[in-house]
Amino acid sequence: MSEQPAASRIRVEALGEGFKDRAEQWASLLGLPLHLADADFALQFGEHGLQLQQLGPDAPGPVRVDFVEGGAAHRRLYGGGSGQMIAKAVGVAQGVRPRVLDATAGLGKDAFVLASLGCEMSLIERQPLIGALLEDGLARGADDFEVAPIVARMKLLKGNSIDVMRNWEGEPPQVIYLDPMFPHREKTALVKKEMRLFRPLVGDDPDAPALLAAALALASHRVVVKRPRKAPCIEGPKPSHALDGKSSRYDIYPKKALKA
């Protein structure tokens, strides 16, 4: 995703007097103004934490990262466990819980699913606003009794994904998971809200081939790329096989077998 939200004007707001200090902290951290009359987006802080609100008459509702309630909680409780396609794609199996780097973390939904299954997760989100939402969501998740052990397995890294992978220090991740922005997503509820909101900020991923190359150079066992079901593979080496779902597929680039 593009690092700079070019052509988008963003301000930071407190949703109440009691939240002004935290709003000011986020504004300072992200280098954003507190007052901007013609802003396109507002990064808001209130009782539910940090959220991003597009402004204007046809804007969708706010987007936040919530690992405690809503969709994340439902999927954690009823999502199908290790039988989920993403789990099969990264190699979760009996006695196998790989160390995974999610290099395009976004709102952390896929990483949370894998962490809930026992995978140790590293996450990179290079767009600062989305990274802030993710950081806030992880912090709130750490305060919940049931969710805290899961988010404890999720480590957020900052920086450009390609640079972080190229300059990786220490033991490499066994699996690297990529879900780059694709120009022509199918019309789903996700597009109508989150993707509709994010696309002006982050754009597409023209460097997806470089992202794949860096991942293939670093991962010790496999790289997995999530794509819209009918989208072409990322330019570069071809996957050995794919797992197809209703709207998405997982292209798999194996390097070495994962063993218990």
Strand partners, 16: none
In which order are the strands placed within the sheet that holds 100-102? 154-157, 121-124, 100-102, 175-178, 222-228, 248-254, 241-244
Tell which residue, 153, 186, 136, 188, has the closest CA to residue 76.
153
125 is in an annotated binding site: yes
Tell which residue, 257, 163, 148, 169, has the closest CA to residue 215.
163
120 is in an annotated binding site: no
- Burial readout 41-54 (b: 16 or more C-beta within 10 A, e: otherwise): bbbbbbeebbbbbb
**44/53 Cα distance (integer angstroms):** 7
Tell which residue, 2, 131, 139, 7, has the closest CA to residue 66.
139
179 is in an annotated binding site: yes
Place of tokens 């982050």: 202
Q: Which residues define the annotated binding site?
A: 125-126, 179
Q: Which residues define the annotated binding site for S-adenosyl-L-methionine?
A: 125-126, 179
